[in-house]
Amino acid sequence: MDAHTLLELATHWGWLAALVVLALCYRMVLRIFGAIVVPEDSLGVVNKKWALFGKNRALPVGAIIALNGEAGLQADTLAPGVHFGLWPWQFKVTLQKFITVDKSMIGVVEARDGKPLSGGRVLARTVECNAFQDARAFLRNGGERGPQISVIPPGTYRINPALFSVAPAPMLEIEDNMVGIVTTKDGQPLPTGDIAGKEVPGHNLYQDAEAFITSGGFKGLQEQVILAGRYFINPRFATVDTKPMTEVPIANVGVVIAYVGEPGEDLTGDTFKHGNLVKRGQKGVWIDPLDPGKYPINPYTNKVECVPTANVVLNWATGKTEAHMLDKNLSTITVRSSDGFTFNLDVSQIIHIPRNDAPKVIARFGSMTNLVTQVLEPTIGNYFRNAAQSSDVIDFLKNRSQRQKEAKEAISAGLVDYNVNAVDTLIGDITPPPELMKTLTDRKLAEQSKITFENQKLAEETRKDLEQAKAMADTQHRVVDSERNVTIADFAAQAVVKAAEGEAKSKTINAQADAQVITAVGTAQAGKTRAVGEAEADVIKQKIASMESANYAAVQIADSLASHGIKLVPDILVNGSGSGTGSGSTLVDVLVANLVQAQQTMKGTKGTK
């Protein structure tokens, strides 16, 4: 770096240093001459060191802020700009930034000076002072020292920090489907016996705390709730607890038990002696229940009991619970029969509570759980214990449907007095003693085995009929073929008969013609034939006379067979006895023997001739 550059740098820094010195000197010069410059984002807090003249040279006893020029912290602050006459040997001016409250916050104020709190108040009364920006007006109008009941909303404020301190606090925000339960810390004491303050008008949902107190609001829990939204509520005045809205589900009604309100007149009359039912807004059980929906109800001052108006199933069965959980403490009923056996019984009871009777049920029992434990559980349990003792186990099992019907009638009659309708009583599982169950099981198995055998027998008979039917079906086509063949043969025979009849008629005609021709010839030959026949007949008579007629017939048969070259007698004859000739024990033997004898006789006869 050369000398010229160094010279330029020195000149530059020299000018800057000179400007800083001049600025300091300017402020010092101004301060010496009693001038103060306040920036645009600040204010000046003035502290007067001393006062030489006048009767108000010192602050009143207990005062902190000077109003009349006394020595001390002054009520008036310096606005942004240049102020003169504030000599440094008499006044000390402190610059302070403006107070800014963010948009999601509120400013909680506390005053260091003012009148003492009075009248049992815990928060200072509201006075007109331009949101605490006019300290002089605050003190002159009777502002009280201590925590202030008023708050300042989001924004930027020129507040004297010597008199007021401002602490940011979150703005109250209540979400949808929620309600704010308010407890105030200031106001009149609650009357004896009341648990919450009554609703008072004109305080803009506790945002105007002073109006709440002047309207006669009470400190403590409040009946009135606030709904979803954002609120400027002083946390030193009230605390807000958020709770979900009261929801009455579908198929239910909400019976309201109010702990606050004016005493009401009982609307149930002389017939209902188990509690009072009152109008809405009065203390007690409301006679008009809430229908399904959401309601901004204070749960600390009102209790809503949901009563189902649909059918409700309650199970006396260990380990079985419905969604409503009213039967979570119910268990299987243990009973003893007349024959001394102990067995378990599962029961389901269906009940219904009409809408207009729901307040009476709650007035009588306080809740649905109490209804179950105080009425339903002992009523149903004792009924089945008594019913079981009147019969043995087997009879109880066999007459289950009858027992169920009797139980429904008896329990329905018993629940009418409690404004509860018994829809149905159902008997579930019955668990007899193991030893008795084994006997019943063996008996049932034997019965089932018998039925099985009978069914098997019937099945075999059915199978037999089936096989027979199948066999008949298999031969049916042959029967049909035979029937068709018979029919065809019948038709063929008829055709042959017809043909024969036609041919016979033809031959008859021809024969008649031929008969006339041969009649004459026949007559001539007849004589000849008769003569020959008579001669042959005489010969035959002589042959028959020489032998028996049977032997003669056999000889004729043998001659006929021999003339055709058929051997009637084999060369060798063998019979059962081993001899060469038949013994006549069979037809063949007899025939053969007769033939042989006939031949021998004929030979003898011929030789004799």
Distance separating alpha carbons of residues 601 and 584, to the nearest angstrom: 19
Mean pLDDT, residues 24-42 taken together: 73
The answer to whether residues 232 and 255 touch, using CB atoms and an 8 Å cutoff, is no
- pLDDT of res. 337: 87
If you count DSSP H runs as helices and E runs as strands, how many of each does the chain have, helices first? Answer: 11, 27
| pTM, to two decimals | 0.64
Over the stretch 294-347, which tens digit does the pLDDT of each residue have?
Answer: 999 999 999 999 999 999 999 999 989 999 899 999 999 999 988 888 888 999
Distance separating alpha carbons of residues 101 and 334, to the nearest angstrom: 71
In sequence order, which ranges of 131-228 are alpha helices (DSSP H)?
135-140, 209-214
pLDDT above 60: residue 18? no
- In terms of Cβ atoms closer than 10 Å to its own Cβ (0-12, 13-18, 19+), residue 51 is middle
The answer to whether residues 128 and 137 touch, using CB atoms and an 8 Å cutoff, is yes
The answer to whether residues 378 and 295 touch, using CB atoms and an 8 Å cutoff, is no
Distance separating alpha carbons of residues 398 and 44, to the nearest angstrom: 102
Q: Which two tokens stand for residue 271?
A: 């017939």
Least confident of 414-418, 427-431, 443-447: 443-447
Distance separating alpha carbons of residues 193 and 287, to the nearest angstrom: 23
Distance separating alpha carbons of residues 609 and 601, to the nearest angstrom: 12
Distance separating alpha carbons of residues 345 and 385, to the nearest angstrom: 10
Distance separating alpha carbons of residues 569 and 494, to the nearest angstrom: 45
* Residue 180 identity (one-letter amino acid): G
Over the stretch 440-458, which tens digit does the pLDDT of each residue have?
Answer: 777 778 888 888 888 888 8
Confidence of residue 579 (pLDDT cuts 50, 70, 90): very low
- 3 state DSSP class of 283: strand
Over the stretch 138-150, which tens digit does the pLDDT of each residue have?
Answer: 999 999 999 999 9
- pLDDT of res. 298: 96
